[in-house]
Structure 1
Amino acid sequence: MALSKKQLSQDEVIVRHMHTHPKVLLWRIMAQVVLIAVGIAASVLLPGDWSPWSHLAVWIIVLAVSVPVFLLPWLAWATTTYTITSKRVITRSGILNKRGHDLPLSRISDVQQDRALTDRIFGAGTLRLETSAGDPLILEDVPSVAAVQVELSNLLFNDVQGAIDVDPEH
């Protein structure tokens, strides 16, 4: 869900709005596929005279296991957003309890990028935004991290149009 225009100042422009990279869900998706395959195999292999209660029990178990294995992590991913505007960096997260952080661009003194091997494969990475107060804002699993770092650098040098033009997809 994009940031509401009501939360922006009059001359503030959204440069990029994003979720964390979907790679964080990859193992969860594979586990869910295996779980469904196990449910299908159990439904097929259980004796026919146990039906329909055995099938119902199997799929209730599959559903119960799916909640912590896939559904809750997916909801956490879907509700975690990073928004870069012409004036600040905004983070929002949380399913029931919402957390947010707004960092004015004027407080950022350094932008660092970290990319592990898996991050490089997926084109993601971690941005560390150092502040003058020494309290960094760390954005993990940022998609297209190199382009985001360039956008932030352009914004820090007051080049809003240059930041918008960095990645034509956004």
Structure 2
Amino acid sequence: MRPAATPETAAPPAQPPERVVARVRRHARVLTIPALLLIAVAGATAYGLGVAPEPWQGLAIVAGAVLIVLLGSFLPYLGWLTRRTTITTRRIIVRSGVFVRVRQELLHSRGYDVTVRRTWGQSAFGSGDVRINTGHEQPFVLKDVPKPELVQGALQELMEHEHSRVADRRRAEQSMIDGDTVAWGGR
């Protein structure tokens, strides 16, 4: 028969492993203009090469087209690709940056207010901004997220679950206190 756990030997409940709930990027519609620009530059370059009488003019057209495509299509795509939001069971992680990586984290246990803001264009495409008010001057904003109501509901549920887990852990720690020790607000 196993002896009952005494307050001195009882271990606090183990924390469940952190799991990824969702990985989110901005809505892909932000790449519409860069894609249209790429198509237009390809067509204009082909036309310009066919009309240009001198070889140096063809080189100038190609160099200009490469520069426009690099600045107007490739860099916006790279910016979209390198900004990612990961929502886990314990926190929100936002990673961004190409040459300088920036990582921001927000714990669910801190408590926050989640709101959704949608413009008419975002409503048409089923996206919106999820604003997370943490009590600081600037809210934590997940911009142009697809299905923002679903993200809002998931964040609220995760926050409630994290608060109940923290409260359970505190109760377990309180119950481990032996009879000689008085916790603040106890007895």
Kindly indicate whether residue 123 of structure 2 is the aligned counterpart of residue 123 of structure 1.
no
Query: Which of these residues, 64, 67, 74, is aligned with residue 64 of structure 1?
Result: 67
Q: 2:160 aligns with which of 152, 157, 162?
A: 157
Matches of residues 21-170 of structure 1 in structure 2 within 5 Å? 21-47=27-53, 50-51=54-55, 53-133=56-136, 135-158=138-161
User: Displacement, 1:132?
Assistant: 4.1
Contact 1:108-1:129 at 8 Å conserved across structures: no
**RMSD after superposition:** 1.9
More strand by proportion, 1 or 2? Answer: 1
Note the C-alpha offset of 1:89: 0.6
Question: Mean alpha-carbon deviation: is it higher for 82-91 or for 148-157?
Answer: 148-157
| Amino acid in the other structure paired with 1:88 | R
Choose 125-134 or 83-92, whichever is displaced more: 125-134
Tell me the secondary structure at the aligned position of residue 157 of structure 1.
helix
Q: Distance in 2 between matches of 1:56 and 1:132?
A: 56
- Structure 1 position 46, deviation (Å): 2.1
In 2, distance between residues paired with 1:133 and 1:38? Answer: 49
- What amino acid is aligned across from residue 159 of structure 2 in structure 1? L
Quick check: 1:107–1:132 contact (8 Å CA) kept in 2? no
The amino acid across from 2:102 in the alignment is R
Q: Which runs of 5+ in 2 are unaligned?
A: 1-14, 163-187
SS in 2 for 1:36: helix
Once the two structures are TM-superposed, the CA of residue 119 in structure 1 deviates from its matched residue by: 0.5
Residue ranges of structure 1 left out of the alignment (5+ in a row):
1-8, 160-170
Letter in 2 for 1:59: V
Q: Closer, same or farther in 2 for the Cα pair 1:135/1:61, shift >3 Å?
A: closer
Query: In the alignment, residue 148 of structure 2 is paired with which amino acid?
Result: V
Counterpart of 1:166 in structure 2 is none
- The share of aligned pairs that are identical, in percent, is 28
Change in Cα spacing, 1:75 to 1:10, as seen in structure 2 (3 Å) is: farther
Give TM-score, length-normalised by structure 2.
Answer: 0.73
Number of aligned residue pairs: give it: 148
TM-superposed CA distance for 1:98, in Å, is 0.9
